[in-house]
Chains A and B, each alone.
Chain A
Amino acid sequence: MTGMVAAFSSFALYVLTHWATCRARSWPHPSRLLNLLWLAFLPFYVMSFLVLSHKYPQFAVDLRTANGVINLLNGLLIQVLLLIGYTAFFFLIERGLSLRVTIEVSRAPDGRMKLAEIMRVYSYDYILEKRLGQMLTMGFWRKDGEVFVSTPKGRCFAAVNKLVWKLLRIGEE
């Protein structure tokens, strides 16, 4: 239980810090910020685990035993999974195409929009610029003049996704 409590408390603090950082200024690479900040909070997780274990008898853990080490690693696993969940949530808010469309419609003067109007306020060039920029930054593609070419990393990523599409029959219905 010690790992679980330490993981949740340190992750809550991580989320609050991330929010404060986002409010302080805009960041060009949000995913880098998410990950670096999370790594910076790992020592805090270990510290809260040790404090809980030493100060409160109900959370006492002996790290010299296998069960104690498993407890510590279990908390770390929870931290990783919480980060994945939070990343999904964050990028849904930040990058979700459908969400942006609903926000644009909600902000229309009479709360109604035609397709052409949505296309005007939310341009394709903006969408492409963001996605392609990210793919270039992450090294999935590189630019050869005006042409986009995939890198070995991008080819591998595309192949894995193609396999998942085939396996789960995505896009067939």
Chain B
Amino acid sequence: MLSGICAAFLCLTFFILAVVVRFQFPPVGHRLSVMICIWALLLPVYAALYFGVRAALPPWLGCPLPWHDLEGLAAFLNGVLLYALLFSAWCYCYFCTDHSLSVLYMMALEDTSTRRMTLDDLKKAFPYEELLQQRLLDLQNNGFVAVRDDTFSLTRKGRRNARIAGGLKQFLRLEPGG
């Protein structure tokens, strides 16, 4: 089991390094797709690391080979699961940094000479119209929204997304939110 855990963390380290290197060479394109692609490409590396770590560990910490019995297979798949969950945790952190308005406001405040801002300063630094236009452009590029004559409507994908998320929001009494 320990070999799967170690291999998953090692693989995540390689993944982060690969993402940092890839993002140094723009244009990157759709960042989430690029990250998913790198994650998937590193799956064979996980397998190699799993067997490497397994061979390096003392026998009392080892586990059977994946094709020997269920315990061995479960230990191997447990590492894959950890690698997938670590990827989702990475995505959460990444998109918090990339998309969060709060993070944007915090960084803007640190950039001012006095490190002080009023509500009006924030509104001037981030005009709502620009901010919303940027988000709508993102939604348009991802196929959720269509624009015709300055009017926004949802695509089929957007309607499905709004229906599911809206239903869940209603169910959990989180409305209006946002």
Is B129 touching A128 in the complex (CB atoms < 8 A)?
Answer: no
> In the assembled complex, how far is the CB of residue A155 from the closest CB belonging to chain B, in whole angstroms?
6
A38 at interface, CB cutoff 8 A: no
Instruction: Classify the interface of chain A: helix, strand, loop or mixed.
Output: helix
Is A147 touching B97 in the complex (CB atoms < 8 A)?
Answer: no
Q: Given the interface contacts A98-B135, A169-B26, does A103 sit within 8 Å of B162 by beta carbon?
A: yes
| Cα–Cα distance between A1 and B72 once the two chains are bound (Å) | 10
Give the contact stretch, choosing among A39-47, A48-56, A133-141: A133-141
B37 at interface, CB cutoff 8 A: no
Is B129 touching A168 in the complex (CB atoms < 8 A)?
Answer: no
Is B23 touching A67 in the complex (CB atoms < 8 A)?
Answer: no
Q: Given the interface contacts A66-B61, A103-B166, does A147 sit within 8 Å of B118 by beta carbon?
A: yes
Most chain B beta carbons < 10 A, residue from A25, A77, A147, A168:
A168
Q: Given the interface contacts A95-B178, A158-B109, A170-B97, does A84 sit within 8 Å of B92 by beta carbon?
A: yes
Residues of chain A within 8 A (CB-CB) of B101 are 97, 127, 131
Residues of chain A within 8 A (CB-CB) of B135 are 97-98, 101
Is A4 touching B144 in the complex (CB atoms < 8 A)?
Answer: no
Is B26 touching A173 in the complex (CB atoms < 8 A)?
Answer: yes
| Cα–Cα distance between A82 and B116 once the two chains are bound (Å) | 37
Closest to A170 in B: B98
| Cα–Cα distance between A92 and B178 once the two chains are bound (Å) | 9
| Cα–Cα distance between A171 and B172 once the two chains are bound (Å) | 33
Q: Which residues of chain B in 75-116 are interfacial with respect to chain A, using CB atoms and an 8 Å cutoff?
A: 75, 78, 81-82, 85-86, 88-89, 91-92, 94-95, 97-98, 101-103, 105-107, 109-110, 115-116
Q: 8 nearest interchain CB pairs? A: A100-B178, A81-B85, A88-B92, A106-B162, A124-B128, A1-B74, A158-B106, A22-B172
Given A131-B105, A161-B106, 7 extra CB contacts under 8 A: A23-B173, A67-B61, A101-B178, A106-B154, A115-B152, A148-B119, A173-B26
Residues of B within 8 A of A (CB): 1-2, 5, 19-20, 23-24, 26-28, 60-61, 63, 70-71, 74-75, 78, 81-82, 85-86, 88-89, 91-92, 94-95, 97-98, 101-103, 105-107, 109-110, 115-119, 122-123, 128-129, 132-133, 135-136, 138-139, 144-145, 150-154, 158-159, 161-163, 165-166, 168-169, 171-174, 176-178
